[in-house]
Amino acid sequence: MKRALKFFLAGLTVGLFLLTARGQESSAVREKLSRAVLADGAAQRQLVAELGDTGSGLVHDVLVAWTRDNVFLYDSGNAKIPVLLEDQTDADGKARAISIADGKFLLDAQKHELRFAPTELASADTDAALRAVIQQTLDTLALADPDPDARQNAVLKLGNSKKLKNLPVLQARLAKETDVPVQRSIKEAIAMLQLDDPDPKIQSAAAQQLAALKSIGSLDLVRALADSKTAPSEVVKAAKNSAETIGEHISFVNIFGTIFRGLSGGSILLVVALGLAITFGLMGIINMAHGEMIAVGAYTSYVVQNLFGTGFAFSINLPFHFFGHPLGFSLSLPGLNATGWFYETYFLFVLPLSFIMAALAGLVLERTVIRFLYRRPLESLLATWGVSLVMQQLFRMVFGANNVQVSSPRWLLGHFTVDDVSLGYNRVFVIAFAVLIIIGTWLLLTKTPLGLLIRSVMQNRDMASCLGVRTARVNMMTFAFGSGLAGLAGAFLSQIGNVGPSMGQLYIVDSFMTVVVGGVGSIVGTVCAAAGIGTSDQVLQQLTGSPVSGKIVVLVCIILFLQWKPGGLFSIRSRSLD
């Protein structure tokens, strides 16, 4: 695409290029170009073909202009001078002319710049044979592009051209190519072209070569050959074998792609559910406002991003009056107007800040609402649902009812490819981060004094209290920690999904299911359940063909799974009855 755009732009702005970027092209090349335009017949074709070795952008631009009849011949009286007309035209539709031979403007006797309209000049004509040679030269030039990606695109284009005449160009390039992926592409393209070779032996060899290269792009061609009625039987057989091999490779790539997406989906679920595993699993509090803690984290990343950019402001007007003054609240924070790499680092600040903000929100929630409800878990569900309504409405008032835009830092965009399986950086990052969070949580719960206190209070609150543990404080810390994890999850989701006032609602059912399936009170269980649910979600989406039916099947499976293991994957064994 980029390449196609370049072709297009080059044709349009060719004059300007000559003036600026191509100014320092060697005079030998220019001179040769000029001669080529002026020459005739076989000699001309010979000259044009030789231009392919120059690797010069100027040659490319001029040749493209030539095929579009934009190279003109100026008759100075004693000789013809090949020229290009500048893009910029004056009021009469005339433009300055640039000589191809030296890259300078044509001047008349008084050293004034000559101006022409395209109709005033004869264009250098081309015939079919010449255009074919020009095209070949252009292909050769594209194959010699210094950028490997551009070379690869040119190779693919030739490989899909189905024209055997492109074969020599590719073979010539293969001998010179040093970049390994491009080499592979060239081999693939050659084999794809050779599928149409008149010699059945070469055809069969090409099919086998494609199978050896596991070329996904050639599957359609190979299949067409395998189904062809006219091809000799041994070719059809070879093509069938290759199609099978390539098909296997494709399903392999699909399976691993699905597993990868499943794992990254599971990681998101895990980061979301881990906070819940602590507040619900360990503390027994059903926090319906957990989803809003996620939103707190996501909005924090939005605010931080804006602070690095142009600043953040909001205002709320309440429909009440206080002694005639309308009540309202507004806040305006100036931005850093950061650019470049400094702006890209904003995400590094987002991670701790989103944790802290959500943890603070959790702390306030625990102190004001939840501490009254430790002995009434079902009612904690209702009260926290009320809190979630309030928080959603606050988000709407502060950030607006629509989704807000959080842009990913550049280092999270893009992907790399392993054996045709494409791995997005952001998904890899999510998986890696989920692993870090699990390790961090595990270390905190098992290796620190706070973790010891948390576990003791969760196991038996009264006994811990008797032994001098300040249970109220531990509860507070635990709840804040769980909420903070939700905030971190929100920071992630801001990079992957939408950030809106009710974003938390999307994840709340899933994350409760994850905790229940994993076994309430078991962090390991939550990890396994998240990976399992995430992967099966992706697999079922593939199988059923729609995300919604996949999700429904997963939910039904979970309900059935709990028949088999009501306590979840890792239920904590206990002799107590309830």
Partner 1 sequence: MPRKASNLELWVVLAVALAVIIVLPCLNAFTPDGSWLHVSNFTITIYGKYLCYAMLAISVDLLWGYTGLLSLGQALFFSLGGYMMGMYLMRMIGDLGQYHQPIPDFLVFLGWSTLPAFWKPFACFPFAMLMAVLLPGTLAGVFGYLAFRSRIRGVYFSILTQALTYAACLLFFRNSLLLGGNTGFTDFKFILGHDLREPATQRALFVSSAIALLLVYLLCKWLTQTKFGRIQRAIRDSENRVMFSGYSTANFKLFIFILAAIIASLAGVLYVPQVGIINPSEMATDKSLETVVWVAVGGRGTLVGPIIGAFAVNAMKSWATRAYPDLWLIFLGTMFVLVTIFMPKGIIGLPAQLRALLKKYRRGKPNGQPAPVVSGEEILPAKSK
Bridge-based pairing state of the strands 421-424 and 415-418: antiparallel
Residue 343's Cα: distance from chain center in Å? Answer: 19
Nearest CA among 365, 396, 357, 361 for reference residue 503: 396
Residue keyed to tokens 């070779």:
197
CB of 257 to partner 1, least distance (A): 25
CB of 284 to partner 1, least distance (A): 4
DSSP string, 439-480: HHHHHHHHHSHHHHHHHHHHH-HHHHHHTT--HHHHHHHHHH
Q: Which contacts of 186-192 are long-range, i.e. CB under 8 A and separated by 24 or more positions? A: 186/155, 187/213, 188/155, 188/159, 188/213, 188/215, 188/217, 188/218, 189/155, 189/156, 189/158, 189/159, 189/160, 190/159, 191/215, 191/218, 192/159, 192/160, 192/217, 192/218, 192/221
Is the CB of 363 or the CB of 397 nearer to partner 1? 397
The DSSP 8-state label assigned to residue 499 in this structure reads B
Are 340 and 410 in contact by the 8 Å Cβ rule? The answer is no
Residue 545 — left, alpha, or beta (φ > 0 → left; ψ -120 to 50 → alpha)?
Answer: left
CA 174 to CA 166: how far, in whole Å? 13
Is the CB of 66 or the CB of 395 nearer to partner 1? 395
The DSSP 8-state label assigned to residue 116 in this structure reads E
CB of 489 to partner 1, least distance (A): 19
CB of 240 to partner 1, least distance (A): 37
CB of 569 to partner 1, least distance (A): 14
Neighbours of 105 (CB within 10 A): 16
- Cβ burial of 523 (10 Å; 0-12, 13-18, 19+) is buried
Is the CB of 321 or the CB of 375 nearer to partner 1? 375
Is the CB of 403 or the CB of 571 nearer to partner 1? 571
CB of 465 to partner 1, least distance (A): 12
CB of 560 to partner 1, least distance (A): 8
CB of 167 to partner 1, least distance (A): 49
Is the CB of 255 or the CB of 559 nearer to partner 1? 559
CB of 182 to partner 1, least distance (A): 46
CB of 372 to partner 1, least distance (A): 5
Which residues contact partner 1 (rule: CB under 8 A)? 283-284, 286, 288, 318-319, 369, 372-379, 381-383, 385-394, 396-397, 458, 461, 505, 508-509, 512-513, 516, 520-521, 546, 548-549, 551-552, 555-556, 558-560, 562-564, 566-567, 571-572, 574, 577-578
Beta strands in 77-165 (DSSP E): 80-85, 95-99, 115-116, 122-123
3-state SS class at 102: coil
Is the CB of 339 or the CB of 546 nearer to partner 1? 546
Is the CB of 259 or the CB of 539 nearer to partner 1? 539
Is the CB of 208 or the CB of 502 nearer to partner 1? 502
Residue keyed to tokens 């980029």:
2
Is the CB of 334 or the CB of 377 nearer to partner 1? 377
Is the CB of 252 or the CB of 561 nearer to partner 1? 561
